[in-house]
Structure 1
Amino acid sequence: MLNEKQQMQSLNDRLATYLDKVRTLEATNKDLENKLKNFRTSKVVSRDFTLYQEQLQPLRDQIIAAIIENSRLALKIGNAQQAAEDFRKKYETEYLIRQTVEADILNLKSLKEEYDSHQTSNNQEVEALKKEIEEMTKQHGKSVSILKEEMSGTVSVDVTTTESPDLKQILDDLRAEYEDIVRSNKQELEMWFNKQVETKQAAAIQETDVSESSKIEVTELHHQHQSLQTEMDTLLVSKGALEDNLAAVNGRYQMELHRYAALVGTMEGELVSIRNSITSQSEDYRSLLNIKEKLEKEIAMYRQLLEGVELGTGGASSAV
């Protein structure tokens, strides 16, 4: 009888212990269910990227605007480079024209020098002819003086003697002939030179006009080239700034994406951990439920035994 009571007491203690464990596990399970419910709710919110999309949309718009602006600047720079190339070709053409004009001017200078040389040579010839005429005049004077002396010293004169030639007339004729030759040569040379000068002057005037207009156009092209170069430098600086801004925006965008990805990864890890914990707790809970069922069966059996013992004891007491 004592052993049965001790067994019952032991069973009651075990039952109380198991019931405490069951209540503890139920509380833990309920807490885990609440955590899971809260996590699922927060997970649904975290899965909703509407807020992130609203934050990222301005960044996307900035990136698209920067790409469009970069393309526009690249096109404008290409056009400026093409215009600068055209101006460079025009400048080279005008430079060649200028070199041609300068070469023609040098040719005119050489022609002038040649004319001056011919004129100097003709002047020398004229001077030589003048000296020769003067010498001949002197000789003529001397001859006339000698003849006069001879004629004054002669007593009789032969009537049949022919008249001596007039040397002065001969010299005058010779001088006139030389002067005509010199004058003719000088006129021909002057006509040839004037014709050459007129031709070259007309060409030089035309080329000078072309050169002046070319210089003006080259100056304008140079100013336009400088203006385009300045504009292109400004555009390049703007392009660099936009590229830096685009890189910074991309960097921030990538950092935000990495942060969100890390946050999602962390939350997914927590979810996996909670699921594993819930699975483990569920297994423990099912194990405890099985133990509880076994204990309840044992308790029921012991109650039946106790009731049987009490009935037996009561019958014995009545019999006494």
Structure 2
Amino acid sequence: MSSYTSDSAVTSIYRRYFGEPTKYRASYEMPGYKVSAAGYGTRSVSVGSTLGVPVGSFRRTHSRYSSMSIPATSDMIDLSQAESLGNELKSIRTQEKDQLQDLNDRFAGFIERVHHLEQQNKVLEAEALILRQKEMRPSNIKQLYEQEIRDLRALAEECKSEYNSAKGGRDQMEGALGALRAKHDEERRRREESEGALDEVRKAADEAAVQRVALEQKVGSLLDEIAFLKKVQQEEIADLQAQIQSAHITVEMSVARPDLTSALRDIRAQYEVLAAKNMQSAEEWFKTKFTVLSENANRNTEAVHVAREEVSEYRRHVQNKTLESEAIKDMIESLEKQIQDLDERHQKELEPLQELIPELEKELQSTKNEMSRYLRDYQDLLNVKMALEREIAAYRLVYE
């Protein structure tokens, strides 16, 4: 408040002794607008029209106080007061000069900032134009990526259908394999049954062979017994004949030779009949036993022959079943190997596709993120541009 009062007093004294100071007018011309200001003295500032020049030129003209009229009366002011008044006026002019210089410097800084902001605005407009062009182009890239993704999905579906078909073929092969395994189990069961029957036939053949050996031994013993009986019979006949001859000789010697010829013939005939009966009965018994044994031997031989034929048939059957079983095993191993090869091949074909799908999804997500970042940058640049335009409009209003 005190400074304002002193300034007013100084101004009134200045006006009392030196009159009204010459008004000045400062004009500032810029491309698109012009700023002018009026004050004491004369000030002129011109700015070049080319952007990038900080300040074109400053021209300042100080008009001196054209006339100073001092009253002639010595009773109004003395020389010391005039000197002090002159010093005050000099200080006032110095302050005014400093203030004007500071204002000119500030205005030059504003002009430079406006030029810098205009250049930055042009750069932002160029970047915004580039971003608009980029924003128009990504639609094609998006279509290309979508087409690529569709192609990959179609390829994945095709691989999936092939996998399903291969899986169906594998299921069919597994069904056929199950049927072959069931058939193999059935044939193995039959083989075991055949081997069991073969073992029974072998046991029967062994028993028949044992019986045959026993019968052969029995036939041998019977033949030996028949031979022994024949030998005993012959010895008995020889003894009887010897006894008859000795008795005949004794009778002839001791008796007066009665007629014993007929008696001896009768005895001899009786012994011969008895021997013939014994021989016939023995031969009949032997023939009967031999016939029975022969029939048993023939039956056992036929049974052994049949058993041998059955064994041979079972052996051929077992060999055939063994060959079929081996063939089925080979077929099963081949089918299992084919199934494993198909699984490995499809797994190898699916692995790069499964690895490619996350990469493409990641690349698509990266592209979307990049597009979002471009859009955010574009929006930020638009916001900066609008803020700069508002600031430039505010500066224009201030300048005008």
Q: Which residue of structure 1 lines up, in the alignment, with residue 219 of structure 2?
A: 126
User: Are 1:101 and 1:204, in contact at CA under 8 Å, matched by a contact in 2?
Assistant: no
Counterpart-to-counterpart distance in 1, 2:317 and 2:229: 57
Q: Aligned match of 2:289 in 166, 170, 182?
A: 182
Counterpart Cα distance in 2 of 1:74 and 1:8: 94
Higher mean alpha-carbon deviation, 109-118 vs 15-24, is at 15-24
Which secondary structure state, in structure 2, belongs to the residue aligned with residue 268 of structure 1?
helix
Establish whether residue 26 from structure 1 lines up as the match of residue 133 from structure 2.
no
Q: Does 1:240 align with 2:347?
A: yes
Residues 25, 285 of structure 1: 8 Å contact kept:
no
| Aligned partner letter, 2:285 | Y
1:249 aligned residue (342, 348, 353): 353
Partners of 1:240 and 1:260 lie apart in 2 by: 26
Q: Deviations over 1:110-139 (max 9, x none)?
A: 222222222222222222222222322232
Q: 1:4 aligns with which of 34, 40, 44?
A: 40
Once residues 291 and 51 of structure 1 are traced to their aligned partners in structure 2, the CA distance between those partners, rounded to angstroms, is 48
Seen in structure 2, the aligned counterparts of structure 1 residues 270 and 232 have a Cα distance that, compared at 3 Å, is: closer
Q: Deviations over 1:229-281 (max 9, x none)?
A: 44334323322322xxx332332332233233224323423432443344245
Q: How far 1:66 moved relative to its partner?
A: 1.8
- 1:209: how far off? 6.7
Alignment partner of 1:231 is 2:338: yes
Do 2:202 and 2:307's aligned partners in 1 also have CA atoms closer than 8 Å?
no
Partners of 1:178 and 1:75 in 2: how far apart? 82
Q: 1:168 aligns with which of 272, 275, 280?
A: 275
Q: Does 1:113 align with 2:206?
A: yes
1:261 aligns with 2:365: yes
Give the number of the structure with larger relative contact order, counting CA–CA contacts within 8 Å between residues 6 or more apart. 1
Distance (Å, rounded) in 2 between the aligned partners of 1:123 and 1:188: 12
Q: What is the distance in 2 between the residues matched to 1:42 and 1:152?
A: 160
1:182 CA displacement: 1.4
Moved more, 197-206 or 121-130: 197-206
2:186 is matched with: 93
Q: CA deviation at 1:39?
A: 0.8
Q: 2:300 aligns with which of 193, 216, 225?
A: 193
The alignment partner of 1:259 has SS state of helix
Q: Deviations over 1:19-46 (max 9, x none)?
A: 4433432332233233223212202322
- Determine if contact 1:18/1:292 at 8 Å carries over to the other structure: no
Relative distance call for 1:124 and 1:170 in structure 2 (3 A) is: farther
- The 1:170/1:40 distance shift into structure 2, 3 A limit, reads same
Q: 1:74 maps to what in 2?
A: 167
Q: Mean Cα displacement is larger for which, 197-206 or 253-262?
A: 197-206
The structure-2 alpha-carbon separation of the partners of 1:264 and 1:128, relative to structure 1 and needing over 3 Å to count, comes to closer
**Which structure has greater strand proportion?**
2
Paired letter, 2:191: R
SS at match of 1:240: helix
CA distance in 2, matches of 1:98, 1:76: 32
Partner of 1:276: 380
1:161-192 Cα distance to aligned partner (Å, 9 max, x none) = 98444442243123223213312322442454
180-189 or 69-78, larger mean C-alpha shift: 180-189
State the 1:286 CA deviation: 1.8
After superposition, what is the alpha-carbon deviation per residue over 1:276-311, rounded to whole angstroms, capped at 9, x for unaligned?
344245334423422431332xxxxxxxxxxxxxxx
Equivalent of 2:390, from 282, 286, 289? 286
Of the structure 1 ranges 150-159 and 64-73, higher mean CA displacement relative to structure 2 is found in: 150-159
Alignment correspondent of 2:44: none
Deviation at 1:150, TM superposition (A): 2.5
Q: Following TM superposition, by how much is the alpha carbon of 1:90 offset from its aligned partner in structure 2, in angstroms?
A: 1.4
In structure 1, C-alpha distance between the alignment counterparts of 2:396 and 2:101, rounded to whole Å:
17
**Structure 1 142/179 Cα, relative in aligned 2: closer, same or farther at 3 Å?**
closer
Q: What amino acid maps onto 1:86 in structure 2?
A: A
Which range is displaced more, 75-84 or 46-55? 46-55
Q: 1:129 touches 1:178 (CA, 8 Å); kept in 2? A: no
How many residues are treated as equivalent by the alignment?
Answer: 293
**Structure 1 stretch displaced more, 225-234 or 156-165:** 156-165
CA contact (8 A) 1:70 1:239 kept: yes
Distance 1:183 1:136 in 2: 16
Q: Secondary structure at the residue paired with 2:343? A: helix
The structure with more helix, counted as a fraction of residues: 1
Distance across 2 between alignment mates of 1:254 and 1:43: 26
Unaligned runs of 5+ in 2: 1-20, 23-38, 42-96, 252-257
TM-score by length of 2: 0.61
Distance 1:53 1:212 in 2: 65
Q: Once structures 1 and 2 are overlaid, which stretch shifts more, 70-79 or 17-26?
A: 17-26
